[in-house]
Amino acid sequence: MTDIIQLLPDHVANQIAAGEVVQRPASVVKELLENAIDAEATEIKLIIKDAGKTLVQVIDNGKGMSVTDARLSFERHATSKIKSAEDLFQLNTKGFRGEALASIAAIAHVELKTKRPEDELGTAIEIEGSQVKSQDVSVTPTGTSVAVKNLFFNIPARRNFLKSDTVELRHITDEFHRVALAHPNIAFVFYHNGGELFHLQQENYRQRVVHIFGSRTNEKLVPVEEETEVLKISGFVGKPEYSKKTRSEQFFFVNQRFIKSPYLNHAISAAFEGLLKTGYHPSYFLNLTVDPKTIDINIHPTKTEIKFDDEHTLYAILRSAVKHSLGQFNIAPVLDFEHQSSLNTPYSYKDKAGKAPTIEVDRSFNPFADDTENPKKTTSSGHTHFKKAPVANWESLYVGLESRENNPDDEFSAVSFESDPKTESIFSGDAVEANKTTFQLQQKYIVSTLKSGMLIINQNRAHQRVLYENFLKHVTIKEATSQQLLFPLQLHFTPNESKIIKDLKTNLEHTGFAFSELSETDITITGVPVGVPESEVSSIFGQLISDVENDVPDTNFSAADLLAKSMAKSLAIKSGQALNHTEQEHLVNSLFACKEPNMSPTNKPTFITMSVDDIEKKFM
C-alpha cells in the first residue's frame, strides 16, 4: 500500500500560514506598522486605497535593511528578534516569528524598497505570490517602504469574504488607533484614497488620545497612575457620565502592545460599579508595564491575547488604582451625613481675618409708644426700625360674633360641596372585562384569542416590526414629517463616529431629522421625527453607530434599511413596560397591518400560536 502522507509545497504552506496571519487588509496594516516600529522609525506614513484591497503602503524612516536582509525577510521563520526558544519569554519587540512578510507575499503583489543610513544605494524587490520577480539596486530614502497591492489576488474565495469598504476601513482605522496610541513618541500620517485622515505629531499620551478621539475627549479623562513591584499603570479612564453603549474606547497596552483581556476588563468594570447605567461601558486608555518574563504573548496568531503568570494580583492592583483615581478626582460619589454645606467658607473669604460678632441694643425703643406719626425710626447706630401702625377700629373685628355663637348652624347653610359627576356605564363592570380580547403577560407578552386557539405576541419584536416598516416607508418616499426643536440639540462624537453620521445624513433627513451643523466632532440637531422624544435622540445615534461598527450593514440591503432597523431597535417598546388595554389592541392591530407581521426586522418570530388541540394535549 502506498504512503498517503506527503509534504506540502512551499507556496501552499505559505498560503495556509497567510490564512492565520492575514485575515483582512487591517492585518497587513498591523504587521507593517509593527515592523516599522521595530526598525526604530520616528515618522511613519500609512497609505491606503480602496480600504486596503488595492493598496496598503507603509513608509518609515527607520534603520532599513541590507541587500541580504531584504531578500531574507520574505523567507518563512526568518527574524532578527529571537535566536533561541528562551528569547520568546524576554520579548521587547513587536514581530518575532518571521511569518508576516512571507505570508503577505504569498497572497499579494509586494514591492519593497529599503536603505540603511550608511549605504549610498538601497534595494528594491518585487514579489508576486511568493515568487521573486525582480531585485535591483534602487535610489531610495533612508528607511523602508513596503507596498502591498491586490490582496488575495490568487485566492478569489478569500477576497469574496471581505466586507464593504466602509467596514474594512473601520478595521484598518482600529488597528491604526491601537498602534498610534501605544507609541505617542512616533509621528504618524494616515492617507485613504488621497485624503488625509490623521496627522499625528510626536506628543505626550494625553495629547495623542485627544488628537485621535477629538478635542472633547480632554474633559472626559481622569488620570490613573500607580507603580508597584509587579505592575506599573499609567493612562486615563473616562468619566462615568461619558460612558458609551459600545466598547470602541477601551484600550489595554501591555509593554506597548495592544491586548484584549476580558479578565482585566472586568477589573475596570468592578471599579466603576454603581457609577454606570445598565448597558453602558467605561472608556479607558491604560498602559501596563510588567516584566517580559511574566507574560507569554505567543498564544495567539494575532498576538492580541496574553497569558499572565499572576492574573489575580494584576486584577486587584488595577481595580484599586482605577477606583483610587475616581475617588481622588471626586468622580465617585461620597456620602457624608455629618457635613453641612452651609458651613462652607466662601473662596473669596480665604484671606480675610475673623471678625468678632457684636450686640447692638436700641435703648430708646418703647413697644407701648404711639409711633403712628413716625413709623420709620433711625437709631444712633444707624439701623432703621419699621413699626407696624396699629389697626384702627379694632372693635369692628368682633361685630356680629355674638349672633354667630347663638346660631352656629347658619354658618354652614350656604356652603356647597363639589362632587364628581356620576356616569353610568353602558355595560356593567363584568361585561367590560369580558369584552377584553387581550391581556399582558409578565409585561413582556401580549396574549390574545383566536378562533382556533391562542396568540402570544412578543411586544418588543412586534413594535420593532411596526416601527421598521414605518421608518422604511418614510426613507423611501422621502416625505417624513419633522418636528422642530425649540432649543437645538448638540451631540459630541469622535471623528470616526461623526463620519458615520455624515455618511447617513441624507437618509436621516428623509426620516425626519434636521441638522444645522455637522463638524468633525459636533453635530447640532434642529428637528426630529414626529413621535421621537428628544431624550431618545442620543441613544438612537449611539445604537446607529454601534450597528455600523459591528458589521451590521453587511446583513442589510442598504443604508436606509440599516437606519430603519437601528431606529426601530432604539424606539421599540421594551420588555417590562406595562401597556393598557388600548395600547395592547393598537399594537396587535398595527402588527397585522404590516407586510410581514410574523418576523421582526432581525428575522426573529414576533408571535406564536397555540391551537386548542395543543392546549388539550397538555391535559392528557
The tens digit of pLDDT for each residue in 249-263 reads 899 998 888 888 888
Contact 521, 493 (CB under 8 A): yes
Write out 267-314 in H/E/C secondary structure: HHHHHCCCCCCCCCECCEEEEEECCHHHEECCCCCCCCCCEECCHHHH
Average pLDDT, the chain: 80
Would residue 420 count as lying in a domain?
no
Amino acid letter for position 157: A
Check whether 237 has a pLDDT greater than 80. Answer: yes
Would residue 337 count as lying in a domain?
no
Q: What CATH number corresponds to the domain at position 271? A: 3.30.230.10
Same structural domain for residues 189 and 217? no
Q: What CATH number corresponds to the domain at position 74? A: 3.30.565.10
Would you state the cell numbers that stand for residue 219, as one nine-digit string?
474633559
What angle is formed at CA 53 by the lines to CA 48 and CA 58, rounded to 5 degrees?
Answer: 35
pLDDT the model gives residue 565 = 83
Give the domain range for residue 112: 10-200
Would residue 151 count as lying in a domain?
yes
The residues, any chain, with a CB within 8 Å of residue 507's CB and separated by 6 or more, are: 475, 559, 560, 563
Q: What CATH number corresponds to the domain at position 566? A: 3.30.1370.100
Indicate the burial class of 176 (C-beta count within 10 angstroms; 0-12, 13-18, 19 or more): buried
Would residue 20 count as lying in a domain?
yes
Same structural domain for residues 560 and 463? yes
Distance CA 253, CA 182 (A): 7
Would residue 56 count as lying in a domain?
yes
52: number of Cβ within 10 Å: 25
Q: What percent of the chain has pLDDT over 90?
A: 18
Same structural domain for residues 173 and 288? no
Would residue 320 count as lying in a domain?
yes
Same structural domain for residues 92 and 124? yes
- Average pLDDT rounded to a whole number, residues 344-366: 77
Confidence class of residue 20 from pLDDT cuts 50, 70 and 90? low
Distance CA 200, CA 186 (A): 8
Same structural domain for residues 173 and 287? no
Nearest to 548 by CA among 595, 494, 477: 494
Would you state the cell numbers that stand for residue 455, as one nine-digit string?
396568540
Same structural domain for residues 243 and 188? no
Distance CA 418, CA 406 (A): 28
pLDDT the model gives residue 391 = 55
Contact 386, 376 (CB under 8 A): yes
The pLDDT tens digits of the residues spanning 308-325 come to: 778 888 889 999 999 988
Same structural domain for residues 185 and 239? no
Boundary residue ending a domain (286, 305, 328) = 328
Same structural domain for residues 224 and 127? no
Same structural domain for residues 178 and 36? yes
Please state the domain count of the chain. 3
At 611, give phi and psi (nearest 5°).
-75, 165
Amino acid letter for position 619: F
Confidence class of residue 243 from pLDDT cuts 50, 70 and 90? confident
Boundary residue ending a domain (328, 361, 378) = 328
The pLDDT tens digits of the residues spanning 172-205 come to: 998 999 999 999 999 999 999 988 888 999 999 9
Would residue 357 count as lying in a domain?
no
- Average pLDDT rounded to a whole number, residues 210-226: 87
Confidence class of residue 280 from pLDDT cuts 50, 70 and 90? confident
At 127, give phi and psi (nearest 5°).
-130, 135
Distance CA 369, CA 390 (A): 11
The pLDDT tens digits of the residues spanning 561-618 come to: 777 888 888 888 888 888 888 888 888 888 888 888 888 888 889 998 888 888 888 8
Same structural domain for residues 238 and 196? no
Same structural domain for residues 193 and 234? no
Rg (the chain; Cα; Å): 37
Boundary residue ending a domain (159, 176, 200) = 200
Query: For residues 342 and 153, which has the higher predicted lDDT (pLDDT)?
Result: 153
Would residue 617 count as lying in a domain?
no
Same structural domain for residues 148 and 274? no
pLDDT the model gives residue 70 = 86
pLDDT the model gives residue 147 = 94
pLDDT the model gives residue 433 = 44
Tell me the CA distances in angstroms from 186 to 33, 104, 181, 284, 421, one per residue in order: 11, 25, 10, 21, 80
The pLDDT tens digits of the residues spanning 504-562 come to: 888 788 888 888 878 777 888 888 887 788 888 888 888 788 777 665 544 445 667 77
